[in-house]
Structure 1
Amino acid sequence: MMDSYIYIIDDLAFFLTGILFLYLFVLSTASHFKHITYPKAQKKYRCAILIRESSPLPDLYGKESPYEFITYSDLYQGINSLDKEHYDLALILPDTARTLSPQLLDKIYDAYDAGIQAIQLHTLVKGCKGFRFKFRVMRDEIKNSLYRAGNTQFGLSSNLLGTNMAIDLAWLQKNLKSSKTNIERKLLRQNIYIDYLPEAIVYCESYPPSPYRKRPRKMISYLLPSLLEGNWSFLNRIMQLLIPSPLKLCIFVGIYALLMTAYNWTSSLGWWSILFGLFIVYSLAIPDYLVEDKKKKKHSIWRKKHLNSELKKTPV
């Protein structure tokens, strides 16, 4: 009798984990497709770049910079102080931002001209060393591949980091109630598409903190309403909140596979296959610049030429 319960639980766990593996595999594979290239903007736009008063960006770029930096001490006040007649977009950057990729604003304007109201830029941290730092970079790039680049390939909204993002100023002033307002949740609830521009890069010296507090329980409470409304981007975002991190998922599957091997090795073969498949999925999600062995890079599955070309011409 006990054996029957164990096998039922094992079958259910294997089925759910298998569905999750297939979902991640599809997103990881899709992230390798080139992002849509928007036509050149047909009119001129203006973007206010919001930075904290302590940010060194104005000094780094100088007075001749094409960027319009607006300093603030309170994000809510800083956004609401902007003139909608003068600016079309607000670009929110963290204190840790140090370099902007060439033609970053042009890429933002092209997407905005095509009707995109919210844009997540590519955050790339450079300069720190050590295994812990490299592991975090790899983890964040996996998230970029799966939950940003992968999402947008299927017409679903990108996950929003909370910073390094450009948003329509009129919408932002109307919906931002305080500096801690969850902008991502507001956008998703209104079914506003969030795009991800992997080649529009903001280089940071360390990881930028999110300007607002994210409450997973609050997001999960919208699971049923989003399903009934057919808001697939919001539903997809909520489901992704429930997915464990790559490390936790691999540890869980590995431990379960070991336990099943000790109990009945023939029943463990499927779990070892899923674990091996997860390694492939997460390897596919790692961009080429993180693979240090140049000899292997020529024939590896990590190649992402469209991103590498941007990294090469971007000064750091």
Structure 2
Amino acid sequence: MNLQEILYLIEYICWLLACIAVAYPLIYSIASLGTKKSHYPKARKQHRFAILFPAYKEDVVILSVIQSFLKQDYPKELYNIIVISDHMQDGTNESLSQLPITLLKVDYPNSSKAKALNFAMKQFDRNQFDIVVILDADNITEPNFLQEINNVFDSGVQAIQAHRTAKNRNTEIAVLDGLSEEVNNSIFRRGHVRLGVSSALIGSGMAFNYQWFYDNVKNLSTAGEDKELEILLLKQGIFIEYLDDVLVYDEKTQGEKGFYNQRRRWLATQFAQWKTVFRDLPHSILSGNVDYCDKLIQWMLPPRLILFGGIIVMGCIMQIVDWPLALKWWGLFFIMGITLCLAIPDRLVDDQFKKSINKLPLLFLMMVINLFRMKGMNKKFVRTEKNGTSTI
């Protein structure tokens, strides 16, 4: 086999791998179509909630968020808002202390959400609550949020991911960030649960059986605590439900720097899971743990923006080298485009979306650069700057 044949073989193998990476989101995008809602009966019992708000330097947003959450249409004596204040100003802590919440103060030299959650659990007893909810310091919920979560848990569900969605679209980056989250909701959450596969977690808007979380939170140690929680849940055979109509409004990244740092951490977290993939995948297949197998395969896939850009680059290269071979790459490009069209909610395809498209080449380059700057990022807490935007 000469050098040219070897290169053609490598190109074909790359195309086959790209086919798998394109087929996976396509299947779940198709499954996500329609407006099927989850129907849970009204709860027979009102459970006790622990609401955790890890807050690292969140002085701009935390007060308004907590004041908003206090308006829940749920008995006040049955939920305890717990703010874990890390490196926040004395004035902010003083204002928080005047509210009917539990304020915990920490001052870690190397802060992380995992450390904050562990610290909070150590302050309470194992049987003090029934359900724990984890929210980010910028998350806003509807007044019926706790009641909806309560209904689902009363039906026997042990782990929930609510529908996190953008509360701001004030910059082109924020528009694309919110769009990306909704695509993930379609593919990795709505599409999954409709095919009977566990939803992916996203870091906030999550709820768990309190005793389970109390026993397992000590296993969280990285900046990808949502991925660690997924591993723990799926290994134990606990299904993760997705509530498409229970919204959690989240402030999206507004600038290129914030997008770069955020994706850099996400990439590092994903690649850090590869050791777990290679270790656990064979056993999961043999044991028939479908949910965990799906999760491990999902972590092997390249990030969507890199996959999309990579297909374009390979198509252009083969167009020059041997144009008939480029046709199969352009076919993948077309299928990937259809997949994204299926996954993007119609309400987001507006003038703001059209204006933001010109940022995609820049974001692709930033993601490629991130591939070479991931060392140690899965151990660091990367805070996204907040402007207190509230465009709901």
**TM-score clears 0.5:** yes
Task: Write the distance in 2 (CA, Å) between the matches of 1:23 and 1:218.
Answer: 21
Is the counterpart of residue 188 in structure 1 residue 234 in structure 2? yes
Question: CA contact under 8 A between 2:72 and 2:142: conserved in structure 1?
Answer: no
Q: Distance in 1 between matches of 2:127 and 2:7?
A: 65
Distance 1:287 1:141 in 2: 7
Partner of 1:75: 117
User: Where in structure 2 are the equivalents of 1:288-303 lying within 5 Å?
Assistant: 288-292=346-350
Inter-CA distance 32–106: structure 2 relative to 1 (3 Å threshold): farther
Which digits, 9 at most, give the CA deviation of each residue in 1:233-282, with x for residues without a partner?
A: 11211211121222211111111111211122222112111101101101
Distance 1:233 1:275 in 2: 28
Q: For the Cα contact (< 8 Å) 2:73–2:143, is it kept in 1? A: no
1:91 aligns with 2:149: no
The TM-score, its normalising length taken from structure 2, stands at: 0.67
* Structure 2 CA distance for partners of 1:262 and 1:38, relative to 1, 3 Å: same
**The one of 256, 259, 277 aligned to 2:335:** 277
Secondary structure of the residue aligned to 2:218 is coil
Cα distance change, pair 157–63 in 1 and its aligned pair in 2 (3 A)? closer
**Equivalent of residue 164 in structure 1, options 205, 210, 226:** 205
Pick from 315, 318, 332: which aligns with 1:257? 315
CA distance in 1, matches of 2:66, 2:146: 16
Give the Å deviation of 1:84: 5.1
Distance 2:72 2:6 in 1: 71
Contact 1:76-1:178 at 8 Å conserved across structures: no
Q: Distance in 2 between matches of 1:62 and 1:240?
A: 37
How do 1:231-270 and structure 2 match up within 5 A?
Answer: 231-270=289-328
The runs of 5 or more residues in structure 1 that have no matched partner are 297-314
Change (3 A) 1:102 1:64: closer
Taking the aligned partners of 2:42 and 2:304, their CA distance within structure 1 comes to 37
TM-score (norm 1): 0.82
Distance in 2 separating the partners of 1:44 and 1:63: 17
Task: Please state if 1:219 is matched with 2:276.
Answer: yes
Q: 1:60 to 1:223 in 2, by over 3 A?
A: same
8 Å contact kept, 2:161–2:201: yes
Distance 1:218 1:41, change over 3 A: farther
Q: What per-residue deviation string (whole Å, max 9, x for no partner) do you get for residues 170-197 of structure 1?
A: 1111111166363222112212111111
CA contact (8 A) 1:88 1:169 kept: yes
What does 1:143-182 correspond to in 2, within 5 Å? Answer: 143-177=184-218, 180=221, 182=228
Q: Give the letter aligned to residue 229 of structure 2.
A: I
Take 2:83 and 2:19, find their aligned partners in 1: how far apart are those partners?
A: 48
- Distance of aligned partners of 1:278 and 1:96 in 2 relative to their CA distance in 1, 3 Å threshold: same
User: Which of residues 67, 74, 94 is equivalent to 1:59?
Assistant: 67
Contact 2:168 2:174 in 1 (8 A): no
Shift of 1:137: 1.5
Counterpart check, 1:115 vs 2:156 = yes
Please say which of residues 217-226 and 17-26 is displaced more in the overlay.
Answer: 217-226
Pair 1:46-2:51 in alignment:
no
Quote the residue 1:13 is aligned against: 14
Q: Distance in 1 between matches of 2:42 and 2:124?
A: 26
- For each residue in 1:95-133, what CA deviation from the matched residue of structure 2 results, as whole angstroms up to 9, or x when unmatched? 111x21242223222321222101011222223522222
Residue 101 (structure 2) pairs with residue 101 (structure 1):
no
> Counterparts of 1:106 and 1:37 in 2: how far apart (Å)?
13
Counterpart code for 1:41: A
Relative distance call for 1:142 and 1:64 in structure 2 (3 A) is closer
Residues of 1 paired with 2:299 and 2:144: CA distance? 33
AA at the equivalent of 2:216: N
Q: CA deviation at 1:231?
A: 1.5
